[in-house]
Structure 1
């Protein structure tokens, strides 16, 4: 039966049922007003202060002439103003566009021009560099500088206006009564671009809100008198830091200690000093905790460790288990296009499933389809991992071809190959584009990498395919030697022998390339397109 809504004012009705990311700090401030919400190198804000500043920024954007659903770009390291810009943009019904600082000038320019950005919020330490770059981007009309405009930096006659971040703040600190649709876009994150030009992932208020609630629940963040505490060195321009850490923490009234970057010693010392309870990071960040425990740091407050975006060696897992026996350690996986996390590998899983991704989270349905197709495959069979649920993106910005491919069959196609077993556990095999096709066999580069990481003389390793007229592709491994590793041919021979003993004939390496560094994106993903070109 359809309800008769004719007696309700449509504006009042929409506001009463509003699902807005901008309301997340509003609700937290109502319950935890004096609790510390954020700290950074310059100070701290309570939840009430975060709410007030975010509201003032929202009203300031509107007064400056920025329109609803228009992008507001953020080019900054982690800081409180970054967070207030994000929430203020959401409150005003605009689209927050955090820019990947480490993606290179070409990709930064692409994101700003592809999105049609007119206003750019930039950290003061980057202002001079940015002003030179945006001179070639006539679409940008305003640059807002966090910390104020540096001395000696002035706008040019034909360049964008230049104002301080505080100068944009309005005197009105009330929460705006902005009409926002559930599926209205709130954020755009340009993908890492491991295989092609980065694509702008458009995510709705509903998707971000659901992911924040879901992650807060499965992470075990405490909603109550005792606040959970986290430390975030992950960049907020990436979905792991933004959606996985920040949004979940603010939603649940947790305290977030923002770091401008990752320093192993400083990170571990901060975790100990603030008595952190929940952490999300790369395996190398958790490794810093094990090293800190060896130095005598008190890390007994830790209750939950989540790692993502890279595999963890068994040796490191054992070190962390010994150093932090009271902390649950969980592998999480996901993608910007389906606001993470989508899968989690809980410690309670059977040990023989330790190489799996784990079980789907409550907010994302995981299935397996024919790669690129609509037909679903039975349990246990390999195919492409596809998603359905409220956290799926709205689409890619200005990319109709990619959009048509992404939603075939009414599900979001991830580009990841894997299977789901009869117990519902998700197993990841490889990225579709990273599978090595050798002699008619599909070789998982990830499996090769996991096996070879146990070699004592390998610090980092990546597996790629090299074109071959006889076999189609040859399995080639690119490695960074560990300290004390033998030189040249001796190391290569050792790795080849190690692989031959532990891998099937189709998977064992046919060549070894030794390098000083393996190219990665800003979030630690290996740029295999560069490795394939170089090998």
Structure 2
């Protein structure tokens, strides 16, 4: 069957499998027919509120049924869903809303204090998911009840935008990644094919649904009419219980989550015979953790490397083996170009470099974004020459395996979360007693990397704890440094830029000693 929009997948499933379970939210099971019915109600209520084709609505919520219904309404009727990371600080949320300019903001009641700062910002309607709504909001169920069953739904085009997935750039300015129905249909096929999803599969998802990882897995699963189990957040013991009880076949985890599951007492004695795939992404998994995982869960691991802007590589299940030294080495890679993906390593002049040389990872694929919302300069920079310029630095071996070696924009990956050093530097530099600051990633056995801040302080110098607390007040807590060291100055290149290679060389051991001694790690 040919699909013109993502909404056609939803309609196909409701027609072909009306009573089959589409979603499981705790004790609540929702059929494909039931999901379509609710999605149509939500879409009609949104239309009744004055939202037209390609207008934006925003969602700030954990993994709730309501979030999936708002997504599905957009699939059917053509409004755009702008995602808001609920872990962000109020100024960050305000910036995203000022860029997306949504007509409606759906928010989970737990995040009301941050959302209240948006009253008067131009958002026309606030809809509270769960709990008693504030005086300036309406409850989700009351809102859905305003739907007029006779109201026709708008019909989106395949090149209309479905999502604005927000991500922070190296300057700290959020960018809305425009993903169309066309790109998301390609995502449906990509994930379903690479992971070999089948209608009988049961997927367990707990990554935040504002992340493309969760959303893409859900789209791929429903492309195959599979059953999706959604958990609101990550609880290692509950995840293991669900895998056993529901006979889960596929799940998606960041490497740190895999480590947390392996640390649950008694994990070796559990029954994971139903599992066929543990998909991990965000960063390569430390090989010792991967070996442990393979002993406990079996030959089920599959790695996908990509980003909000598009998909890139796969390290398949059959490639997760340790028979030779080469096998072990390749476990540190992110695999080879996935089906339908063209990949090259290029220099600053966009010329392909030889095998083994380091350069920027560049991609061509049907899953690549349309561009950045209202940011033509960033779009041209990212997509010029017909290639998506990832900003990631890597090298290819003679068999096409990709090894990531650095990020051109100094991005830090901690626990599967992307953290941009410039954004953290800006937050720390706003403290009145900070003269200068540079932020780098430091290897960590659990998180993959932690944020290390090197600070040049004014007199009197703030403590490391003060710097961390100030940073937490400016940006999301997970972005704060976990270690702070002080220096008299920062090394610079001839261009005047901070020499971060020299910083990593000079302060790596210092940071390790400080963290191990308890001198300056961030509070939990």
| TM-score using structure 1 length | 0.76
Any idea what SS the aligned residue of 1:241 has? helix
Partner of 1:474: 503
Q: 1:173 to 1:392 in 2, by over 3 A?
A: farther
Q: What root-mean-square deviation, in Å, do the aligned CA atoms of Structure 1 and Structure 2 show?
A: 3.2
Superposed, which structure 2 residues align to 1:108-507 within 5 Å? 108-126=93-111, 128-129=112-113, 132-137=116-121, 139-147=122-130, 150=132, 153-155=134-136, 162-169=138-145, 178-193=154-169, 196-223=172-199, 227-243=200-216, 245-292=217-264, 294=267, 296-325=269-298, 327-338=299-310, 340=311, 342-349=312-319, 350-351=326-327, 352-371=329-348, 373-434=349-410, 449=443, 453=445, 461=450, 467-468=490-491, 472=499, 473-475=502-504, 476-477=507-508
Partner of 1:57: 42
What is the CA deviation profile of residues 141-194 of structure 1, one whole-angstrom value per residue up to 9, with x for unaligned ones?
1112224x616x323xxxxx6353453356667996643222211100110456
Which of 88, 91, 111 is equivalent to 2:76? 91
Q: 1:470 to 1:183 in 2, by over 3 A?
A: closer
What is the CA deviation profile of residues 307-346 of structure 1, one whole-angstrom value per residue up to 9, with x for unaligned ones?
1113322322222111122x421222101011x3x21112
Partner of 1:5: none
| Residues paired across the two proteins, number | 447
Q: 1:518 to 1:467 in 2, by over 3 A?
A: farther
What is the CA deviation profile of residues 275-313 of structure 1, one whole-angstrom value per residue up to 9, with x for unaligned ones?
111011112222243345536332221110111113322
Any idea what SS the aligned residue of 1:280 has? strand
Q: Give the unaligned 5+ runs of structure 1.
A: 1-15, 156-160, 437-444, 482-486, 493-512, 520-535
Q: 1:321 to 1:118 in 2, by over 3 A?
A: same
Q: Give the unaligned 5+ runs of structure 2.
A: 320-325, 413-439, 455-488
Separation (CA, whole Å) in 2 of partners of 1:321 and 1:173: 51
Any idea what SS the aligned residue of 2:117 has? helix
Instruction: Report the Cα offset of residue 100 of structure 1.
Output: 0.5
**Is this contact kept in 1: 2:22–2:228, CA < 8 A?**
yes
Separation (CA, whole Å) in 1 of partners of 2:510 and 2:194: 36
Separation (CA, whole Å) in 1 of partners of 2:42 and 2:514: 58
What is the CA deviation profile of residues 417-450 of structure 1, one whole-angstrom value per residue up to 9, with x for unaligned ones?
11233322222111002399xxxxxxxx88x83x
Partner of 2:437: none
Any idea what SS the aligned residue of 1:50 has? helix
Q: 1:344 to 1:399 in 2, by over 3 A?
A: same
**Is this contact kept in 2: 1:95–1:187, CA < 8 A?**
yes
Any idea what SS the aligned residue of 2:284 has? coil
Instruction: Report the Cα offset of residue 53 of structure 1.
Output: 0.7
Which of 59, 71, 85 is equivalent to 1:74? 59
User: Which portions of structure 1, spanning 4 or more consecutive aligned residues, are displaced by more than 4 angstroms?
Assistant: 169-177, 192-195, 458-466, 469-472, 478-481
Q: 1:517 to 1:199 in 2, by over 3 A?
A: same
Separation (CA, whole Å) in 2 of partners of 1:479 and 1:32: 59
Q: 1:108 to 1:18 in 2, by over 3 A?
A: same
**Is this contact kept in 1: 2:165–2:178, CA < 8 A?**
yes
Any idea what SS the aligned residue of 1:182 has? coil
Say which is worse superposed, 358-367 or 311-320, in terms of deviation: 311-320
**Is this contact kept in 2: 1:478–1:515, CA < 8 A?**
no
Q: 1:297 to 1:479 in 2, by over 3 A?
A: farther
**Is this contact kept in 2: 1:57–1:168, CA < 8 A?**
yes
Q: 1:420 to 1:18 in 2, by over 3 A?
A: same
Separation (CA, whole Å) in 2 of partners of 1:364 and 1:176: 38
Separation (CA, whole Å) in 2 of partners of 1:22 and 1:29: 11
Partner of 2:424: none
What is the CA deviation profile of residues 83-121 of structure 1, one whole-angstrom value per residue up to 9, with x for unaligned ones?
011010221111111210012111111111111111111
Q: 1:265 to 1:22 in 2, by over 3 A?
A: same
